[in-house]
A and B are shown apart, each in its own frame.
Chain A
């Protein structure tokens, strides 16, 4: 695992950071392409996180029963 799984909130934070960097023009022209590429990858990642997959429902019976017994 060379790449750490980035949290959604971190990704969004990073995106906002890039955005304000672009706004303030603190970015070096040489870095622009890198930043924009990074931003686009982050957006892609975030979109994947939100996803368009099937709803997953897990009915917790066992754990609950166990929990009840333990109580």
Chain B
């Protein structure tokens, strides 16, 4: 049995650890490059040395294949930090990023803890990995149709009720709110105070998005995610898959103003509208309302103009109708005038006929009349002739000639002896003259009278 204890050297634990360290140093006489993902980094712990783990994950999925302890000692920290600063904010040491460190492989004999001691960092590797990771997220989103999903949401006509995701009271918040305030439109802003940098970004923003999406479309029109300018590393928190997915699934259109001019984050990319500053994001809303106000002005003008046109058209229509009626009626009258004229003519000719007839009958009548008159007159004439004869016979001259005389007393003829008395002066008219005599004696005998 003792044979099996083939060596007589018995190690103390420390001796063992120290020996292993030597072996490690033999195996890795120089520093080596190691790559992996940072985990377990606690930036909030303000310690001189920084400890974390480098993790190797499965090629597909998040399962951890292996991990190793890493130490960044205070003495080397400024050098490494300077290297990182040279990337001008390209990234910062934080969990979940892939890094490539130049390290010493070491073992701390008192603890037996094997670890890597950071000497230098290959920032290009990390930048590449960040960009690569970003591209991977973008490709994944694109493949799932999530890149354009929120863009397909129709933007509200009146984006007056705004869900704002930002750090409350930050410069970005005030820029945004002031721009809305200056517009004087009746915006209502619901603010969700979120971390806009650091590891809380993902959780905060996703929760805020979920909160707003639980509101009804009666209470909310649009969501705005914004923050002030920052380093690439700050903004990298918005190259986040979960945030992107939440945005894609949002039932409200989202305006993002994260990346500013230079960098566009994935959050910006998947949002409905991307603006370069919080002020511009507010401007989009204000502009939307202003356009709508102008549209109202336009509608008002158009409705007034068109109803005026409408009225004037109707007027014209009426006028033309009136003109038509007039022409129609005048034609009617013209037609009927002829009829009237005809009638008139007929009446006239009828009258004429009647008149002619009357005239004729008149003439006939008058002929009859005149012939009868003629007869009458002839008769009268004969009668007159007879009378004339008679009269001529009766003419006192003729009588006188035949020896008769007329006795006048004064102006009166004396027809009876009784008219005279003695000594009356009488005038006796004889043929070819008269005498004046005085009555000597009257002899009233009837027979004497006719002598």
Interface of A toward B, CB cutoff 8 Å? 8-9, 12, 15-16, 18-19, 22-23, 25, 27, 29, 32, 35-36, 39-40, 43, 46-47, 49-61, 63-64, 67-68, 71
A55 to chain B, nearest CB (A): 5
By the criterion CB–CB under 8 Å, are B157 and A8 in contact? yes
Pick the residue among B160, B207, B311, B314 that contacts A50 (CB under 8 A).
B160
- Closest residue on chain A to residue B189 by CB atoms: A57
Interface size class of B (residues with CB under 8 A): 35 or more
Contact A15-B289, Cβ < 8 Å, known A50-B185, A56-B188, A59-B193: no
Q: Which residues of A contact B302 (CB under 8 A)?
A: 19
Knowing A50-B160, A71-B207, the reply to whether A58 touches B188 (Cβ < 8 A) is yes
Q: Which 4 A-B pairs have the closest CB atoms?
A: A51-B186, A22-B306, A53-B186, A56-B188
Query: Which of B118-126, B291-299, B334-342, B348-356 is the interface stretch?
Result: B291-299
B191 touches A16 (CB 8 A): no
A16 nearest in chain B by CB position: B299
Q: Which of B5-13, B70-78, B176-184 contacts A (4 or more CB under 8 A)?
A: B176-184
Which residues of chain B in 296-320 are interfacial with respect to chain A, using CB atoms and an 8 Å cutoff?
A: 296, 299-300, 302-304, 306-307, 309-311, 313-314
B207, B292, B299 interface centre (most CB from chain A within 10 Å): B299
CB atoms of B306 and A56 under 8 A apart: no
Can you list 12 pairs linking A and B with CB atoms under 8 Å apart? A12-B295, A29-B314, A35-B307, A39-B303, A40-B300, A43-B296, A47-B293, A50-B292, A52-B186, A56-B188, A57-B188, A59-B191
Chain B nearest CB from A40 CB (Å) reads 8
Which chain B residues numbered 155 to 197 have a C-beta less than 8 Å away from chain A?
Answer: 157-158, 160, 168, 177, 180-181, 184-193
Among candidates A43, A53, A54, A58, residue contacting B299 with C-beta atoms closer than 8 Å: A43
Residues of A within 8 A of B188 (CB): 55-58
Establish whether residues B187 and A55, one from each chain, have CB atoms under 8 Å apart when the complex forms.
yes
Chain A proximity of B190: nearest CB distance (Å): 5
Chain B interface residues toward A at CB < 8 A: 157-158, 160, 168, 177, 180-181, 184-193, 207-208, 210-211, 289, 292-293, 295-296, 299-300, 302-304, 306-307, 309-311, 313-314
* Contact A27–B191 (Cβ < 8 Å): no
For residue A15, which residue of chain B has the nearest CB? B299
Contact B193 A61 (CB under 8 A): yes
Q: Closest CB-CB distance, B302 to chain A, in whole Å?
A: 6
Residue in chain B with minimal CB distance to A38: B303
* A12: min CB distance to chain B, Å: 7
Separation of A60 and B165 alpha carbons in the complex (Å): 10
Q: How far apart are the CA atoms of A54 and B189 in the complex, in Å?
A: 11
**How far is it, in angstroms, between the C-alpha of A61 and the C-alpha of B204 when the chains are bound?**
12
Query: How far, in whole Å, are A32 and B185 apart by their CA atoms in the complex?
Result: 32
- What is the bound-complex CA distance between A35 and B136, given in angstroms? 57
Q: A12-B157, A22-B310, A47-B293 are in contact. Are A64 and B207 (CB under 8 A)?
A: yes
Q: What residues of chain A lie closer than 8 Å to B193, measured between beta carbons?
A: 59-61, 64
Known contacts A12-B292, A67-B211, then 18 further A-B pairs from the complex at CB < 8 Å, ordered by chain A residue: A12-B295, A16-B299, A19-B306, A22-B309, A25-B310, A35-B307, A39-B299, A40-B303, A43-B296, A47-B293, A50-B185, A52-B184, A52-B185, A55-B177, A55-B187, A57-B177, A57-B191, A58-B189
**Cα-based distance from A54 to B264 in the complex (angstroms):** 33
Interface of A is mostly: helix
A67 to chain B, nearest CB (A): 5
Residues from chain A with a CB closer than 8 A to the CB of B293 are: 47, 50
Interchain CB contact under 8 A, B191 and A58: yes
Q: Are A55 and B189 in contact (CB under 8 A)?
A: yes
A68 CA / B204 CA spacing, docked (Å):
9
Chain B residues positioned under 8 Å from A59 (CB to CB):
168, 191, 193
B337 to chain A, nearest CB (A): 35
Alpha-carbon separation in the docked complex, A12 to B296 (Å): 8
Closest A residue to B185 by beta carbon equals A50
**Chain A nearest Cβ from B200, distance in angstroms:** 11
Assembly CA distance A18 to B188 (angstroms): 31
Do A36 and B157 touch (CB < 8 A)?
no
Smallest CB gap from B181: residue in A = A55
Question: Chain A residues near B189 (CB, 8 Å)?
Answer: 55-58
Distance A67 CA – B203 CA, assembled complex (angstroms):
12
* Given A50-B292, A64-B208, A18 and B192 contact (CB-CB distance below 8 Å): no
From known contacts A50-B185, A64-B211, infer whether A23 and B299 are also in contact, taking CB-CB under 8 Å.
Answer: no
**B-chain residues with CB within 8 Å of residue A22 when the two chains form the complex:** 303, 306-307, 309-310
Contact in complex: A32, B207 (CB < 8 Å):
no
Contact (Cβ within 8 A) A50 B299: no
Nearest Cβ in chain A — how far from B291, in angstroms? 11
B289 contacts which of A36, A50, A60, A64 (Cβ < 8 Å)?
A: A50
